[in-house]
Amino acid sequence: MQTAVDDDQVLHIVVSAQIDGVAALRLRPGLALTGIDAHAALRFAPGSDGLQLSADNRVEGLRLATDPDRRAIFNDTRVDGFGRLVLRHLNVAGVVQLLARDSVAGGHVEAHDIDIEAADARGYEERPKGYGVEVVPGVFTLWNQREDHGVVITADLTGLSAGRAGAPVRGSGIFVGGAGEAGGRVVANRLETGAVHSDGGIAPGTPDRITGGVFVVSGAFVASVRNHGPVTTYGPNDMVLDNWGAVDRWIVDGEVTSHGPSGIGFVNFGSLERLEVNALIETFGQGSRGFNVYTGTVRSAQFERVVTHADGAVGIQISQPVGEITVRRGIETWGGTGDSLVKGVVVRLAATALSIKPGGSARKIAIAGGLITHGEGVNPLELHGAIDALEVSGGLTAAGGGFATI
């Protein structure tokens, strides 16, 4: 294998079987590596990274396997740019990590139908920071770390999956980001995912670290995000869907589920023009809210239904001005008052169905199916900001009682 990689006359290597114990390989610029059928696989030696890309490489139709905490696919940051990197129809054990840093000053990434069945990104300690927390990178990471705003990485990303139900990847799942608002950018036409299951493995009570099942980080500009499959997180501070970047349209077709404490279904800190959630958002951990807007804004958001099951788990909470919010089948919470992580600080919250905090406002909120709370003394509606037009059909129900009567 190494002989073929080193031969300057070879432009395309075809793998026709499983090859075990492979040492880390670097693909020189322009070299393609593909599999001939479903049996084509490279299993890298224990303790070794896997396939290092340089520029204008194509990798297709292969299974690539390293230890879970090693990089199955990564890039040489000493080259001037990615050129056009193409990853297609890959089954992966190990981390996929593409970084624009050092000498990399541009390029384009195509990644389609990448299934990461097992990986652990928790050991990669370079982490973006903001809003009082740091973000653990993903088992699929595309990250422009260059401080120069003129360095742009373009991308088209579809069919990205990670983990299995009950066997999540560790760290974040799918992570796409730039170097903050003033630094290098990732500009993606599409970011589309299949099923994603992730567990960040964050110690309970850690206030300043989070992960995301699908995370668009500051400096990323995405025209269309679409979650075709379910996205599920399992641990403390594991956001399911999180936006710190700028997204034109985000469509959610699969269920959004959080099992750990302080794990929000969808949280927005960036700019989001249009959000369409066509499936249930459901959270089970203490302080795990359904939908939050803390910073930035959302112009339009549509939800099928939002349900939470623990103390401090607000259904929908708005802390910034937003446009229109519509819920088709109601918001329902089953908890009382409890701790929740807010911008790196643990605070006490009641599991209110709809909460508009000071500084929050909306042009219009329309809820069909009602606002229902089951915790004792928990109001269905908390209004400390302004709503120009509020429509609730199905009523406001505080099923848990606990209110004094006069």
For the chain, 406 residues long, the average pLDDT of each consecutive 10-residue run is 80 95 96 95 98 98 98 98 98 98 97 98 94 96 97 98 97 97 96 98 92 98 98 97 98 98 96 98 96 94 98 96 98 92 77 96 97 96 95 94 64
The pLDDT score that the predictor gives to residue 406 is: 42
- Alpha-carbon span 223 to 154, nearest angstrom: 11
- Asked if 53 contacts 75 with a C-beta cutoff of 8 angstroms, the reply is yes
Q: What is the DSSP string of 99-125?
A: EE-TT---EEEEEEEEEEEE-B-TT--
- pLDDT of res. 362: 97
DSSP E strands in 106-237: the ranges are 107-118, 129-130, 133-135, 138-144, 152-162, 169-170, 172-177, 185-199, 209-216, 220-227, 231-233
Q: What is the mean pLDDT of the chain?
A: 95
What's at 25, amino acid-wise? L
144 touches 155 (CB < 8 A): no
pTM: 0.96
Q: What is the pLDDT of residue 404?
A: 60
Inter-residue contact 11 to 38 (CB < 8 Å): no
Residue 242: its H or E element = strand 238-243
Beta bridge partners of 112: 88, 158
- CB proximity list for 324: less than 8 A, separation 6 or greater: 299, 300, 301, 362, 363, 364, 365, 366
- The pair of structure tokens assigned to 255 is 């269920």
Residue 177, both tokens: 């980001």
